[in-house]
Amino acid sequence: MKAFPEAFLWGGATAANQIEGGWQSDNKGISTSDVQPNGVMGKMEERIPGKENLKDTAIDFYHRYPDDIALFAEMGFTCLRVSIAWTRIFPSGDEREANESGLAFYDRLFDELAAANIQPLVTLSHYEMPYDLVKRYGGWGSRKVIEHFEHYAKTVFTRYQHKVKLWLTFNEINMSLHAPYTGVGLPEQSEKADIYQAIHHQLVASARAVAACHEIIPDARIGNMLLGGLVYPLSCHPGDILQAMQENRSWLFFGDVQARGSYPGYMLRFFREHNIQIDMTDQDQKDLSHTVDFISFSYYLTGCVSHDETINNKIQGNILNMLPNPHLESSEWGWQIDPTGLRILLNELWDRYQKPLFIVENGLGAKDRVDANGKIHDDYRIHYLNDHLVQVREAIEDGVDILGYTSWGPIDLVSASHAQMSKRYGYIYVDRDDDGHGSLSRIRKDSFYWYAEVIRTRGLSLQQLK
């Protein structure tokens, strides 16, 4: 058994709209997340006057971040993934002058992390574009939004160039195929051609941000972020194998564009066969040549696909339209647990791109319970994370270059899919329920001490799979 590399980054991952709260503090504007009170899987709706949504306060990280960072430091974190709320910097998204109060908040946050020797990994846009950009321009359906995003990116690169050296552009950029409002600000029932045009604008904006980062912060690295939606063929039937290849390409195409700098031939064929005309200028193609430095991704589950439509029609409406794998167990939320799939995905991404990889989300959502002694015994989470990290180490032995691992939600937060507190991922329990009741006090779970030992020993404390 070998230790993880010394330079391997250990930590956790968060998103501003799921932890910060302070949804209108210091001149913050309204984001698309603020008008999705029921989460990514819920419908977009205008806010109800006088009614507080769970994310309005979330876990109040906006005011409690020093204490939370101290807990992360106690575990030995060397990296924390956070996102900047775009509407804290530009409340409407299209202003020319930035909101100084918002900039100052992230200065304080990054300074606190530096004092704890924790490196920030910063996502520019994590499911929370300014709502005014949706109302005024139609979201990413408008080419004008590219310029507004580029201005925002250049502003924060310039401001934090000495404090942040690791950046990501868009969180789970391929999620737009499944949740277009969350991803690109388009109505859920939008035409496929409109969604892909909006995605194109976002890909161009991502590439421009990469170029700006390289210019403004030459010693920084900037990556993309994919939802790792790996699927297997349901059987060895050639039709199933071909279907799996096509389904995987539907999300890998985002990485192909961001890592290789142009649209792959299979995607151009898809556009032709579906009568999709992408408005792509010569300048767009030049912009796309600015490729990312590394590939980051989330990994939670795998599934299966079939070429047989009578089988596909039995899918129970999960967001990724996957068939269940009969060989895997599932979590309380029906997400199939597949540690080996993480090793497979790491190898496939490495073989495909030959760029460093970063696992920036992975974890188990579960209903944790506080016992009579005020303790949380989450052996199920420890087991899940142990098995996945063992597979990460196997991938490293396979020769895959992996920068680090930031598990999702190191402290309990509001879940993205249905805006719940009851779906908990953290090593740290937050006393708040789905109705917003609770003291917001923090409690260390058993997994807190387990992860601290994993980090301290660089993975030597992991239990080898049987």
Q: DSSP E strands: which ranges in 205-293?
A: 221-227, 231-233
**Residue length of the chain:** 466
The one catalytic residue in 112, 128, 172, 247 is 172
pLDDT over 60 (residue 316):
no
pLDDT over 70 (residue 83):
yes
pLDDT over 70 (residue 35):
yes
The answer to whether residue 97 is domain-embedded is: yes
Q: 466 in helix, strand or coil?
A: coil
The answer to whether residue 22 is domain-embedded is: yes
What lies within 8 Å, CB to CB, of 416 at 6+ separation is: 15, 18, 39, 40, 127
Q: What percent of the chain has pLDDT over 70?
A: 97
Q: What are phi and psi for residue 370, nearest 5 degrees?
A: -90, 125
pLDDT over 90 (residue 148):
yes
Q: At what angle do helices 379-397 and 339-353 cross, to 10 degrees?
A: 30
Q: What is the pLDDT of residue 319?
A: 56
Work out how many domains the chain is built from and give that number: 1
Rg (CA), the chain: 21
Please tell me the distance from the alpha carbon of residue 285 to that of residue 74, in angstroms, as a whole number: 46
Please tell me the distance from the alpha carbon of residue 429 to that of residue 410, in angstroms, as a whole number: 9
The answer to whether residue 219 is domain-embedded is: yes
pLDDT over 70 (residue 146):
yes
The answer to whether residue 69 is domain-embedded is: yes
The answer to whether residue 288 is domain-embedded is: no
- Print the domain residue range for 426: 9-229+356-396+404-456
The answer to whether residue 58 is domain-embedded is: yes
For 392, other C-beta atoms within 10 Å of its C-beta total: 25
DSSP string, 152-199: HHHHHHHHTTTT--EEEEETTGGGGGT-HHHHHS--TT--HHHHHHHH
Q: What is the pLDDT of residues 266-282, one digit of tens each?
A: 999 999 999 999 999 99
The answer to whether residue 74 is domain-embedded is: yes
pLDDT over 70 (residue 20):
yes
CATH number of 162's domain: 3.20.20.80
Residue 136, both tokens: 């005024």
Q: What is the pLDDT of residues 336-356, one digit of tens each?
A: 999 999 999 999 999 999 999
The yes-or-no answer on residue 361 being catalytic is yes
Mean pLDDT of 180-185: 95
Average pLDDT of the chain?
A: 95
Please tell me the distance from the alpha carbon of residue 209 to that of residue 218, in angstroms, as a whole number: 13
Mean pLDDT of 224-239: 97
The one catalytic residue in 46, 361, 394, 453 is 361
State the burial class of residue 295 (Cβ atoms within 10 Å of its Cβ: 0-12, 13-18, 19+).
buried
CA distances from 161 to 293, 296, 413 (A): 17, 21, 28
Q: What is the pLDDT of residue 315?
A: 66
135 pLDDT tier (thresholds 50, 70, 90): very high
Q: Which residues sit opposite 123 in a β-bridge?
A: 83, 168
Q: What is the pLDDT of residue 450?
A: 98
Specify the pTM.
0.97
The answer to whether residue 341 is domain-embedded is: no
Mean pLDDT of 402-425: 96
- The distance in angstroms from the start CA to the end CA of the chain is 14
pLDDT over 80 (residue 47):
no
User: Half-sphere exposure (CA, 13 Å, Cβ side) for 262?
Assistant: 7
